Structure 1
Amino acid sequence: MFEVHGSDSFKPHDLAKNAQTKLQALGKCGRMVGLLTALVRY
């Protein structure tokens, strides 16, 4: 699971923030791919 070496090593808030930014990046990539595939179809 998680290795905790100190009180500052594991921050759930930072983890959630990181996941959120990754999801946002994935969403942007998905939109770009959708636009590209739509362009290719026409």
Structure 2
Amino acid sequence: MQPDQVIGGRYKIIGPLGEGGMANVYRAYDMILDREVALKSCA
């Protein structure tokens, strides 16, 4: 995922938070709840 990419019409990616063996975690902004969240992308 890239910064400023919008996922599901709701979450705007801010940047990476961390990564592990099977997943990446991104800092994102929930445009509906008007707050920052963490999104996990599993491989």
> Over alpha carbons, which structure has the higher Rg?
1
> 1 or 2, which has the higher strand percentage?
2
TM-score scaled by structure 1?
0.18
